[in-house]
Each structure stands twice: as C-alpha cells, then as structure tokens.
Structure 1
C-alpha cells in the first residue's frame, strides 16, 4: 500500500493492488509493457485513479522520469492495455476510470478523419504559441458532456491558466442554441478574461463565428481525436462526473444545481495554484490587471 500512497490526495484501490499481486499476473508470457514493469503499472493506475486521461499520464511521466526507459509509455499503449480484455474484472474497473468510460473502443484502423462540416474553422496550429505557456489569463477550452442515452447535454468551459469553470445548461446541441448559450455565459465574465477558446471538432460549434461576433473571442479547433490538446477541459469534465456520473439525465438538472457544482469547483483549493482556489486567482488577476491600467 505504501507504494500507492506516496503523496497527499492519492488513492488506493485494494482490488487493483490485489490483482497486481497475483501470481498469474506476474507470469511473463504475453505481457505488455505495463504488465511487465510493476512500477510503471502502478504509475499508470494511480494516474487513472486521479481521473487523469491516458494522454495526461503519457505526457506527465516524461517529466517525472525523463531519463528512465522503463517509465515511458504512449497513450495508445495505455488504451490497448485497458481494452485488451474488456470483459475482465480488472479491465472493467479500469474502463470505468476513464473520463468517457465506454465499454468498447473503436479500432484505430477504422478511424477516419472526415472533412469538417464546420465552415471557416481556425486550427489550433494557428493559435498563438504563448497561449501554451498558460502565463496569460482569458484563454479557455470548451466541450459538451453527454447525458443518459445521448439525449441530454451540458456545456463546459474552463479557463486554462486558473482552471476557472463555467457549466452551461443546454436544451440540446444544435449549433444555434449552443452558440447563443455559450455567448451569454461568456459575456457574464469580465472583458479582460475573454480572449480565446479552443474546442474540439463537434458540429455543435458550427456557429463559432457567432460566438466570436458576440463575445470578441477567437475560436480555435483542436485536431480530431486529440483530446490532450484540451487536457484541462478533459480533466475538469472528470471532476464534474463525480457530481453528475455516467447515466445522468441532464434534462433533470436545473441551472441552480449546475451553479452549485460550478461554485464547488471554483472554490476548491488546487495544488497547481499553490492551494489557492480558481475564484481567488481570478479575483486577484482582475485586481492586478486594473491596478496596472
């Protein structure tokens, strides 16, 4: 257990730890890299338990172990390990730890990048490089979260520097409705925090030019199947799922309930912010910016 709990806030799963310890699991025949190296396995599983995506685990391990050939793994290898035996007891638990937690995964060979139906979209490749540094506030990532039976949705928008979160009540995901609701929500923010938003290729963002017109914010689009390009949003969606788990019908959740969840996230101390809250950091940023103008 000590190998699992090395830092405050980390999680321990008796089921997963027990599985690792079993002799048949230690059999070296037909084992992938995660199964072969126990310390790599524990690192990956700990990341999943912390709601990290495979992309985030793959990227973070490079920083934590820059010169250790054992402690390196691609996000695709993590997915293959998880979905190798989708009906196995352990794999079912691992699948549930994924942000989107689907029972099956489409083969990469079947994934084809189709021509986008979003007119005049601007690629993330054209986004100014300084936005990657997270030194300037006002740059956001956006997404939709889908409810039970794909019949309900909510919008999530997260500020990249301070992780300030906005949760948007939506009636459906038609582009005109989404652009109207996103614009209304973003326009409640101070103008100094409205600069850019990076989104995926969902057709619900076909009205991106209307958002730009109403808010003044430039919308950039991530590459297909590249969720790590909006890693802050993906991680935040995982946090929201703790309050609104898979199978929730978002049509039964009103704006007041979403606001309660939003406030909890924005007033939650974050290690990456020196244990300040996103709300505190946004308030401080606003004060400093206006003092310097």
Structure 2
C-alpha cells in the first residue's frame, strides 16, 4: 500500500493519458501521398480532391514543412507528432509575473477559483495575466507541469492534499428508493374530472423537524382529515398511523390515494394490502399533480405554524383543527361546506358509481 501511495504521489493523483492521433488530422499515409503528388507536380487542390481533404489543409501542410522543394513525408509526420504532444509548457511557467501573483494568492489561502476570478476582474484586457482555475490545479498536481508552480502550496489549499481526488459519481446504494411504485400516469382518467368522490390526495405537513402530521383530502368534496404522526417521518413510523386513518374512511369512499414521491411512503405496498387502496405517486418535483392537497396544506398553515413542534398535537387536537376547515364555506361548492358535500356524497350512494 505504501508503494502504491508513493507512485500516486509522484503522479499527483492525475491519470496520464497516452497521446493519440485524431482522425481529423493527416495520417502518415496521407502525407506520403502528398509527397508523391508534389513529385508529380500536382496542385494542392488536386491533392486535396484525391485525399478527400480541404485544399487549405493540404496547402498549410506543405507550407509549414519546408514548401514544395523541401517537403518530406517522414519528417513532416514526426514534426506533427511533436507539435501535438501534451501538455505544452504551462502558462504559469512561461510568465513569471503571473506565476508570482498566483503563488502569492495561494499563500494567502485563496482557492484556485478565487484567484482565476480575481485575475479576470483586475486584468480584463490582458490575456497574458489571466489563467483558469483548472490550469492552476494542474500546475499544482500534474507532474508534467510541476516546474510551473511551487507544489508545497498544496498545503495552503482547503483540502491540504498532496494528491488530487477527482469527483466521482456515487454508485446508487438503493437507500431511499421507493420500490414497486405506480406512477400517477397510470391512474384512471375518472380521477381528473372529480365526478366520482372516492379518490384522495395526501402529504405530510412539516413543523420543526422531525415533527410532522399527515393530511388526507377527498378530491371532490375537499373534505380533510389530519393524521397525528408522533413518532417521526420515516416510512415505518408513518405507515401505521396513515393506515389507521385510511381505514376510518367509509369503504365506499375509499378507492385511490395520490401521494408525493417522498420516502415516507416507501411502504405503500403494505398500506395498499391493508386498506385495498392503490397508491399513485406524483412525478418528481410536480406538487401541482395533487393540487387539492397542496391548497389544503396552505390553509392549514393558519393553524399549524412552520416553527411549531407538531408532536405536541394529539389526534383530538388535530380533529378540532380539521372541523372548522371542513365547515368553512367554499366558493367552488357554491359556498357550501366540504363537510356538507361529503355527507351528501356518503348518503347519496354516488360514490359507488364506477
């Protein structure tokens, strides 16, 4: 392990990539064809047509390698390979004034990004006194550019690491994934028109974390039930209280539930098995898909402040809050109350209509 770390320290933690020829560049074979074409006194345009290249590409190739009298394919190919080698000498190694300024700022514990931004601000028209934050990092860590800057200045960075550790995307662990979820797009079209009063929306209303209560709203009547959840916001803590409240709903008014895509509903399959209500989950960052519940939660903030500890509210307290909310006239009902509309639906038998 010590030898591996020593090897990585020498490379600065930066992987060295081998030099490769781009397919866009002239190959050795193409340069040989250019050399033969020159000997046959072909023009640059004729050579370009035969090679499938631009005439300017061929003319520049000949000009930069001695002209028609001195062009040789082998030496031209070697020169092109040498010009393409990377990295070139670092800008900080070429410009002592810029290097001194960058080292001075690093000594003051400025980050490379702060230095690059400061240089752009103070030298707006002078490209020779500007450098990117990535170039500063490479000059600190890349062994091929080490002469560009004092490597001991890595100790002045926030990480103080002698090797660079690139950011790597974390592999998914499966934690927090809601398994077997059914998207709201699979919900029956009848839910949208609110004509059949058997569909509910639900969510959590947060107080000071981890205190919360659940809300259930019937889409047609806007009748609201508030659920005490005194134990916490994890799925195993929410599930028993939510299940109990759903079972309190008359069976004929209990068909579907639409919920936000939060981790608290991860045990939705157990809730469905107990209550017989399939649970549909909204798309990510789409609270408008359960707009009735969102509007109700906004009304509840008149009674349940964001800074309140909601664990102090008993189920009786929450029922007392839901009562005035359900008996408040609503314009959408012609100023009838949600409780009155809900009672009428329950007594009329409309909820049994498929």
Partner of 2:227: 168
Question: CA RMSD for the aligned pairs?
Answer: 1.9
Partner of 1:93: none
CA distance in 1, matches of 2:350, 2:331: 26
- Is residue 2:274 matched to residue 1:214? yes
**CA offset digits 1:113-158 (Å, max 9, x no partner):** x98700100000100111011111110111011112x221111111
- Is residue 2:297 matched to residue 1:240? no
CA distance in 2, matches of 1:211, 1:250: 23
Partner of 1:127: 187
CA distance in 2, matches of 1:290, 1:277: 18
Structure number, greater radius of gyration: 2
Q: Is the 8 A contact 2:196 2:350 kept in 1?
A: no
Compute the TM-score of the two structures, normalised by the length of structure 1. Answer: 0.58
Gaps in structure 1 of 5+ consecutive residues: 1-113
CA distance in 1, matches of 2:272, 2:311: 27
**CA offset digits 1:168-221 (Å, max 9, x no partner):** 000211212312111111111111111001011111101101111111101000
Partner of 1:263: 323
Partner of 2:210: 151
1:144 partner SS: strand
Partner of 1:21: none
2:241 to 167, 181, 184: 181
CA distance in 1, matches of 2:333, 2:278: 26
CA distance in 1, matches of 2:206, 2:283: 20
Gaps in structure 2 of 5+ consecutive residues: 1-171
Give every structure 1 segment of 4 or more consecutive aligned residues whose post-TM-superposition deviation is greater than 4 Å: 290-293
1:34-53 correspondence to structure 2 within 5 Å: none
Compute the TM-score of the two structures, normalised by the length of structure 2. Answer: 0.49
2:349 partner SS: helix
